[in-house]
Homo-oligomer: A and B are copies of this chain.
Amino acid sequence: MSGEKTVTACLLIIGNEVLSGRTQDANLQYLAQGLNGVGIRLAEARVIPDVEATIVAQVNECRARFDYVLTTGGIGPTHDDITAASVAKAFDVPLARNADAEARLRRHYKPEDLNPQRLRMADLPEGAEIVENPISKAPGFRIGNVIVLAGVPRIMQAMFEGYRHRLAGGRPMVSCTVVAFVPEGKMAAGVAAAQAAHPETEIGSYPFIRDGRLGASLVIRGTDAAQVAAATDAIKAAVRAEGGDPIEES
């Protein structure tokens, strides 16, 4: 895209509660949009269980394949919070008490409340840099290109908002959405032709049924606003060619 490298990220959602269907993940969508805002493209996401060997293998596979790896979940005080220990193992460094993280916990908790389980939250991979947690004080961290965040959405969001300026992205994607009350199968040839004529953009077709009417949202994405605008015009023409009235939602 315009010769500039696309900066990619992979999200590892660590949590048995998502895989069991107990909890609906709410972090992927937030991070996808937040990363895009700093010019980083979420290229893959994986939901994996709270199993050390799995976390180690996936962190190592993904940190080699993507520019950034973000993780959510597993940084609390309980026995099933094994993200820090697993990431330390992935990087083959010791898990060690981080003095800065410990100081934060000591400021947050009364001495009688800071039990060994809570103190354990200050054990981070050696060499990790703290990612501030303004809410619960259980620190996230960054080591190499891996950024470890909390799983609770409100906390994860506060951590990400405080850290995002530290991430180095490329050009952000811009997008435009054209809504048409025409079945996507009817427009498919015209849409494919528009995609072929505008290969620098990505055109997605997402069918829907709204108020009993069949239609599709056609989403045009790219890093160049002029190319996106030209592809959008081609899509509108394809909609009109099938008798539809394209609605631009941008």
Which of the segments A139-147, A204-212, A223-231 contacts the partner chain?
A204-212
Q: Contact between A19 and B47 (Cβ–Cβ < 8 Å)?
A: no
A-side residues, CB < 8 A to B, are 16-25, 28-33, 36, 41-50, 54, 76-81, 113, 115-118, 121, 152, 154, 173, 175, 184-189, 191-192, 195, 202-209, 216, 219, 221
Tell me which of B42, B76, B188 contacts A184 (CB under 8 A).
B76
15 A-B Cβ contacts within 8 A? A16-B202, A18-B29, A19-B32, A19-B41, A19-B44, A21-B28, A22-B219, A23-B206, A44-B46, A78-B192, A79-B203, A80-B203, A115-B188, A117-B185, A117-B188
Q: Contact between B185 and A20 (Cβ–Cβ < 8 Å)?
A: no
**Known contacts A79-B195, A117-B188, A185-B76; A20/B47 CB under 8 A:** no
**Known contacts A16-B202, A46-B46; A185/B118 CB under 8 A:** yes
Which residues in B have their C-beta under 8 angstroms from that of A208? 152
Per assembly, the copies of the chain total: 2
CA–CA, A219 and B22, complex, Å: 9
CA–CA, A21 and B44, complex, Å: 12
